[in-house]
Amino acid sequence: MVEIKDRENTLLLETSKGSVVIQMLPDVAPKHVERIKELARENFYDGIVFHRVIDGFMAQVGCPLGTGTGGSDKPDLEQEFNETSHVRGTCS
């Protein structure tokens, strides 16, 4: 079991393959973390599918249509550039 230190900034993603714990970094991308929390509280992600999976590389999720062409009704966010490395296991 993974120890959750910051419940307010932790996502628990339940999949058919098991649970995934995602630690969000509001100090790195505050607007994006806030948007994810807002959408999660609205149940936006409930039942959503991974619409693009490239084995050993990446998986995309977030399109309610399941095609990669849709999104929420929220306004787009500005990019939040930072020095955080995108290593294996990073969500962005």
Has residue 52 been placed in a domain?
yes
Total tally of structural domains belonging to the chain:
1
Report the predicted TM-score, pTM, of the whole model to 2 decimal places: 0.84
How does pLDDT run along the chain (92 residues), one tens digit per residue? 677 889 999 999 888 889 889 999 999 999 999 999 999 999 999 999 888 999 989 989 889 998 999 899 999 999 999 999 888 888 88
Has residue 66 been placed in a domain?
no
CA–CA separation, 48 and 39 (whole Å): 12
42: left (phi over 0), alpha (psi -120 to 50) or beta: alpha
User: Which residues form the domain of 47?
Assistant: 7-61
Has residue 31 been placed in a domain?
yes
